Amino acid sequence: MEQAGRHLTSAEATADGDPEGAYGVLYDAGRKALWAVLANEGLRPTTRGGHLAVYRAVLAQLDPPMGATLRPFDRMRRQRHAAEYPAADTPALSSQDVLDDLPKIRAIVDLATRVLDTMGVY
């Protein structure tokens, strides 16, 4: 969770100068927060299914009532992928994209921090 917090700070600080890099770091903050929820339960996500599997596993456990907080992660996963592997018509990420999604990932990190103490080993 400490890494996720540092990633939030880094994403905000670099949004203007490197929006693509900042968005990747922002996404990683959310990914690491979701991974921490599973790791706290003694679950170790594998590479099969990748980041989507981590998201779906946490969503299955916490929705309802926390799905609205978690759902932006899936859109961001697709947006980050499109930025990493762009098609010719893919618009470039902007600093505004980073700043718009920063509160959403911060909410995911906060949610993960809150549930860690209440979710034991699976």
Q: Residues in the chain, how many?
A: 122
Q: What total of structural domains would you count in the chain? A: 1
pLDDT digits (tens, 9 = 90+) for 68-120: 999 999 999 999 999 999 999 999 999 999 999 999 999 999 999 999 989 87
DSSP string, 1-33: -HHHHHHHHHHHHHTTT-HHHHHHHHHHHHHHH
**Domain span at residue 87?**
1-118
Specify the pTM.
Answer: 0.93
Residue 63, domain CATH: 1.20.120
pLDDT digits (tens, 9 = 90+) for 11-40: 999 999 999 999 999 999 999 999 999 999
